[in-house]
Structure 1
Amino acid sequence: MNVVLTKTETQRPASDVFAGVRDRLPGRGKAAEAREQAFAAFERAGLPHRRLEDWKYTDLRALMRDVLPLAAAPDKNALERAEAALASLPAVDAVRVVLVDGAFAPTLSNLGGMETGVRVQTLREALEDGNHADLLSNGSEPGAMIALNAAMATDGLVITVADRVAIAKPLHIAHVATRGSTASFTRSFLTIGKAAQATLLESFVAAEGTKSYQVNDVISVSVGDDAEVQHVRLMDDGADATNITTAVFSVGAKARLTTFNMTSGGILSRYQGHLTFSGEGAEVNANGVNLLNGRQHADTTLFLDHAVPHCMSREVFRSVVDDRAQSVFQGRIIVRPHAQKTDAKMMTRALLLSDEAEADNKPELEIFADDVTCGHGATTGALDESLLFYLRARGLPEKEAEALLIQAFVGEAIEAIASDGLRELTVTIARAWLERRG
Structure 2
Amino acid sequence: MNVAVAKTGNGRAVSDLFASAEGRLPGSPSVIAARREAFETYERLGLPHRRIEEWKYTDLRALVGEVLPLAAAPDSAALKRAADAVKAHAIAGARKLVLVDGVFAADLSDVKALGSEASLKTLRDTLEKDAGLLNTASTDAVIALNAALATDGVVLSIADGAQLSAPIQIIHIATAASTSTFTRSQVAIGKGVRATIVESFVAAGAKAYQVNDAVLVTVGDGADVAHIRLMDDAPDAVNVTSQFVTVGANVKLNFFNMTTGAAVSRLQGFITLAGEGSELSANGVNLLQKTEHGDTTLLVDHAVPNCVSRETFRAVIDDRGHSVFQGRIIVRPDAQKTDGKMMTRALLLSDEAEADNKPELEIFADDVSCGHGATAGALDESLLFYLKARGLPEKQAQALLIQAFVGEAIEQIADDGLREYVIGIAERWLERRS
How is 1:242-321 mapped onto 2 (pairs within 5 angstroms)?
Answer: 242-321=238-317
CA contact (8 A) 1:115 1:167 kept: no
Structure 1 position 192 matched with structure 2 position 168: no
CA contact (8 A) 1:92 1:425 kept: no
Deviation at 1:106, TM superposition (A): 1.2
What's the counterpart of residue 154 of structure 1? 151
What's the counterpart of residue 182 of structure 1? 179
CA contact (8 A) 1:242 1:266 kept: yes
Deviation at 1:222, TM superposition (A): 0.2
What's the counterpart of residue 391 of structure 2? 395
What's the counterpart of residue 48 of structure 1? 48
Structure 2 letter corresponding to 1:291: L
CA distance in 2, matches of 1:92, 1:11: 43
How is 1:38-437 mapped onto 2 (pairs within 5 angstroms)?
Answer: 38-89=38-89, 91-128=91-128, 130=129, 132-139=130-137, 141-208=138-205, 210-437=206-433
SS of the counterpart of 2:397?
A: helix
Deviation at 1:241, TM superposition (A): 0.1
Structure 1 letter corresponding to 2:419: R
Comparing 233-242 with 21-30, which one deviates more in the overlay?
Answer: 21-30
Deviation at 1:390, TM superposition (A): 1.2
Q: Which runs of 5+ in 2 are unaligned?
A: none
Deviations 1:26-45 (A, max 9, x none): 10211111100001101100
Structure 2 letter corresponding to 1:380: A
Deviation at 1:10, TM superposition (A): 1.6
Identity of aligned residues (%): 62
SS of the counterpart of 2:83?
A: helix
Structure 2 letter corresponding to 1:8: T
CA distance in 2, matches of 1:399, 1:7: 48
Structure 1 position 10 matched with structure 2 position 10: yes
Structure 1 letter corresponding to 2:343: M
CA contact (8 A) 1:218 1:247 kept: yes
CA distance in 2, matches of 1:6, 1:65: 17
Deviations 1:320-373 (A, max 9, x none): 000000000000001111111000000000000000000000001111111000
CA distance in 2, matches of 1:242, 1:26: 24
CA distance in 2, matches of 1:109, 1:225: 29
CA RMSD, Structure 1 to Structure 2 (Å)? 1.0
CA distance in 2, matches of 1:91, 1:195: 25
CA distance in 1, matches of 2:81, 2:118: 30
Structure 2 letter corresponding to 1:50: R
Deviation at 1:425, TM superposition (A): 1.1
Give TM-score scaled by structure 1 length: 0.98
Q: Which runs of 5+ in 1 are unaligned?
A: none
Give TM-score scaled by structure 2 length: 0.98
SS of the counterpart of 1:120?
A: strand
CA contact (8 A) 1:92 1:422 kept: no
Structure 2 letter corresponding to 1:369: A
Deviation at 1:90, TM superposition (A): 6.2
Deviation at 1:118, TM superposition (A): 1.0
Deviations 1:262-291 (A, max 9, x none): 000000000000000111111101100000
Structure 2 letter corresponding to 1:121: K
Deviation at 1:396, TM superposition (A): 1.2
Structure 2 letter corresponding to 1:363: P
SS of the counterpart of 2:89?
A: coil
CA contact (8 A) 1:153 1:185 kept: yes
CA distance in 1, matches of 2:66, 2:248: 38
CA distance in 2, matches of 1:221, 1:419: 21
- Give the paired residue count: 434
Deviation at 1:91, TM superposition (A): 4.3
Structure 1's consecutive aligned runs of 4 or more residues displaced over 6 angstroms after TM superposition are: none
Comparing 390-399 with 95-104, which one deviates more in the overlay?
Answer: 390-399
Deviations 1:132-189 (A, max 9, x none): 21111113x4311010000000000101111111111110000000011100011000
SS of the counterpart of 1:124?
A: helix
CA distance in 2, matches of 1:359, 1:302: 16
CA distance in 2, matches of 1:358, 1:90: 33
